[in-house]
Amino acid sequence: MIVRECTKCGQKNRIPAEHLADRGGKCGKCATAIEPLDKPLEVNDEMFDEIRTKAKVPVLVDFWAEWCGPCRMAAPEVEKAAKQAAGQAIVLKVNTEQQQALAARYNVQGIPNFIVLRAGDVVLQKPGMVKADQLLAYLSTASAAA
């Protein structure tokens, strides 16, 4: 379960990983609509695996680190892509300094490094700084692979 805060009342709502991109959810306290995830979600390995295995939509993963200049330059582009892909994809951020085993699992040698997953499988992996439109193109690759 992923916890998301209601934008109206601040209530913390548990959202199953398979529903992060869904429309129609409501806050358990005030019934305000909980929109699909529209920003990158920072995850640990447990959250990552839950989303990877249960997501009904493609998942874009940004492997990054705070000290990485290109990663900082990519961050606003990743945010734009997440906003544009809301409801159609989920965007995750993995801090390679804190989640070293997860980065190693995907052979992340350089950062930023982007991976697109579909049904838990890697569809595409590309290192390097890219713009939001290229990230969205990466996600389109996953949709075409479905």
Q: What is the pTM of this model?
A: 0.94
Domain ranges of the chain: 2-34, 41-145
* Mean pLDDT for the stretch of residues 51-62: 96
The residues annotated with a catalytic role in the active site are 68, 71
User: Residues 6, 19: contact at Cβ < 8 Å?
Assistant: no
What does the pLDDT look like over 26-54, one tens digit per residue?
999 999 999 999 999 999 999 999 999 99
Q: How far apart are CA 141 and CA 138, in angstroms?
A: 5
pLDDT per residue over 73-86, tens digit each? Answer: 999 999 999 999 99
> Domain 41-145, CATH 3.40.30.10 — does that match?
yes
